[in-house]
Amino acid sequence: MKIIKRGAEAILYLENDHLVKERIKKSYRLSQIDEKLRKFRTRKEAKLISRAKRCGVETPNIVSVDENNFKINMDFIDGNRLKEFFNETNEENKKKVAEELGKKVGLLHNHGIVHGDLTTSNMILKDNKIFFIDFGLGEFSRRIENQAVDLSVLKEAFKSTHFKHLNLLWENFIKGYKQTNDNFNKVLDTLNDIEKRGRYVKR
């Protein structure tokens, strides 16, 4: 077993050439509640990953789900995180991949899926395809507010990790997003409201 990452909610490790995500016990929660939550979140994340794939978004293939042991066994995507790719590639590639990213996020939202943690650390580029990983904070939702918050998280990720390329990445992302989400106008208007509220709070 080779541990890839330890997070607050789960550990990721390689086992038999597959990636296993295992939700870990929280000692501060009552055992019965803890098990119920971990089982529910394991089941929900597996459903989100599978549903995303069915609507045309690349995600790891799920090999098996073990709800009783809080594990999702899936294909390991051995590619480049967009976090590194955007900081290293040329401008033309940035534009192309950012637009494709926008199309895929638009597809998710158009099918009622909110990722919940849209950062370039949770996207992997392999064979010219963008794979979305870690749906642990995701949910099934068609609420415009939730979709706008998804975009707000991504924009903040662009600001913090890819500040020098922020305008280029965001403009091309929105170009793609508008092509696949029927409600893009409402989402972008709500995103604007969220950003205004944020600026007001900071004063």
14-67 pLDDT tens trace: 998 899 999 999 888 899 999 999 999 999 999 999 999 999 999 999 999 999
Q: Which long-range contacts (CB under 8 A, 24 or more apart) does 8-12 make?
A: 9/41, 9/136, 10/136
Domains 2-75 and 80-202 share a fold: no
Outline where DSSP puts E strands in 24-174: 62-66, 71-75, 80-81, 113-114, 123-126, 129-132, 139-140
**How many whole angstroms separate alpha carbon 148 and alpha carbon 97?**
21
- Ranges in the chain, pLDDT < 70: 198-203
pTM over 0.75: yes
Q: How is domain 2-75 classified at the architecture level of CATH?
A: 2-Layer Sandwich (3.30)
State the catalytic residue, choosing from 117, 127, 134, 150.
Answer: 117
CATH code linked to domain 80-202: 1.10.510.10
Per domain, the residue ranges of the chain are: 2-75, 80-202
C-alpha–C-alpha distance, residues 34 and 13, integer Å? 21
Active site residue 182: no
